[in-house]
Homo-oligomer: A and B are copies of this chain.
């Protein structure tokens, strides 16, 4: 009945997390800085990730690793897929770094990537473990990352683009009270294209996921905007069932 190494790190399987946040202007991504000496940014920065234990499932591992490295917890994660060409550890700096933290630094590793959406202000990351720093960086400013993490990030952004077409998004990215313009900007950031203001407003209002709070912004040097919150019930329903208005 007993398996070997049940609560040992598995040298061959890791998880990586792509955590998106929105600062009311643009999409950001949570990265850790491995901070080794004076390397270029693209090798110092990485997605939070690490090996799994043999007795935890993949999603649990992703939660644990994310918390260990950045202190973020209780976050809903969605799988992106598995990555792991044999040559994913081809950069010399990555190999050197693995030698410093892994028992079997040369082992073949395949990694399972997860992504999530969170309110940036609720999740101010604190680095720990081998992360020297953990920070939000605008998604568009990231040009490269350690290992194959840049590919994983692109896959996550594509996944998000698909997701937004099928279900509502924003509940986990916006503050409790928000304006339609902020939601509009969020959609534009994710889809990476402009959307007509009037059509966008009409469309989301028809979804019936918004409740007008009959409050206005204060202190802005222009006409103050109405504030909204999500209608949780309807939002949840659409999250589960999708819009279902496309294709066949």
Residues of A within 8 A of B (CB): 3-5, 10-13, 52, 54-58, 79, 81-82, 84-86, 106-108, 110, 112, 164-166, 187, 191, 195, 200, 203, 243, 245-248
Contacts and interface: CB of A to CB of B under 8 A. Distances in A.
A191 B52 CA distance: 36
Nearest to A56: B86
Contact of A187 (B58, B106, B187, B248): B248
A82 B79 contact: yes
A194 to B, nearest CB: 11
Given A82-B58, A86-B57, A108 B246 contact: no
Contacts of A245: 246-247
B247 A3 contact: no
Contacts of A58: 82, 84-85, 110
Contact of A165 (B52, B86, B203, B248): B248
A81 B81 contact: yes
Contact of A248 (B54, B57, B203): B203
Nearest to A15: B82
Complex A-B, nearest 5 residue pairs according to Cβ-Cβ distance, in ascending order? A246-B246, A165-B247, A54-B108, A82-B82, A12-B12
B248 A13 contact: no
Q: Which of A4, A82, A84 neighbours the largest number of chain B CB atoms within 10 Å of its CB?
A: A82
Contacts of A12: 10-13
A57 B82 contact: no
Given A3-B107, A79-B81, 5 more contacts: A11-B12, A13-B84, A54-B108, A81-B82, A165-B246
Nearest to A109: B13
